[in-house]
Structure 1
Amino acid sequence: MSEETYTTNLDSCNPSDCASCTANCSSAGGSSQGSIPKVPNPTIKLTLDDDSVLECAVLTTFPVEGFGEYIALVPLNKDGKNTDGETYLFRYAEEGNTPVVSNIEREDEYMAAAEAFHDFIANLKSEEELAAETEE
């Protein structure tokens, strides 16, 4: 697993709540801005270098121009929570219906993914903005 992490704090919810959240994630943004998967308990299990398993909540997948597709994951404790707000970024692909997550090895690639994820978070719409759009 990559030692590099990107920390964020969503304005309307805490990323650590994603795995146990029962909301429809409307506070995470509309489809034009990207969205957090709208499925119950979106999680993925990572096998670490020491063969231990780490369960993570899936925040989103997102493209990075010139590099490919990436995934943002929040590591969860045994209670399904994340108390420190850490977010892990990995390369993401699918082989058939199976997700494939791999480390980002190059610093320039990691920095591009971190910037794209930061932009994604910065462009998420608040619940008030989404409600205003619905009323229009």
Structure 2
Amino acid sequence: MSEHMHDHNCENGCDCGHDHGEEMTVTLTLDDGSELECAVLSIFPVGDNQYIALVPIEEMENEEGEGEVYLYRFIEHENNELELLNIEDDNEYEKVADAFDELLDDEEFEEMLEDEE
């Protein structure tokens, strides 16, 4: 798998902590050679590592709002080159998935508070 990141115009608002006019995306090259463009949902720490949550752009456009989320360990090198590493340890994956779920719960709670105002 390989990847590269770039920006594109944000259609649904940006939730990744960057300028709300643009959304970070990652293009994954899958094992079969096909490419999958994904939006960055979040970059978040768990322990000493950084992780990234991605969702395919085509699934974001899905009306139901339900889609597959890809979680990777994330490393940014000094030259701004990005490296995504598969999470192969089940325990590590569980911790990362739990942290991501907690992030989503916190965001939903904040949205509910904003709606009440």
TM-score by length of 2: 0.72
Match 1:92 to one of 74, 77, 84:
74
- TM-fit CA distance, 1:80: 7.0
| Count of residues in Structure 1 that have an aligned counterpart in Structure 2 | 102
**Deviation digits for residues 3-46 of structure 1 (CA, Å, limit 9, x no counterpart):** xxxxxxxxxxxxxxxx532x3x4xx5xxxxxxx23341321101
| Contact 1:20-1:80 within 8 A present in 2 as well | no
Q: Measure the CA separation in 2 of the matches of 1:76 and 1:94.
A: 22
- RMSD of aligned residue pairs (Cα, Å): 2.6
Structure 1 unaligned residues grouped into runs of 5+: 2-18, 29-35
Q: Which one of the candidate residues 54, 70, 73 is aligned to 1:73?
A: 54
**Contact 2:27/2:37 (<8 A) preserved:** yes
User: What displacement does 1:112 show?
Assistant: 0.5
Deviations 1:64-83 (A, max 9, x none): 125x1100000123x97346
Q: Residues 97, 130 of structure 1: CA spacing in aligned structure 2 closer, same or farther, 3 A cutoff?
A: farther
Q: Which residue of 2 aligns with 1:20?
A: 11
Name the one with the larger strand percent. Answer: 2
Equivalent pairs: percent with the same residue?
40
Alpha carbons of structure 1 residues 122 and 131: separation in structure 2 relative to 1, 3 Å: same
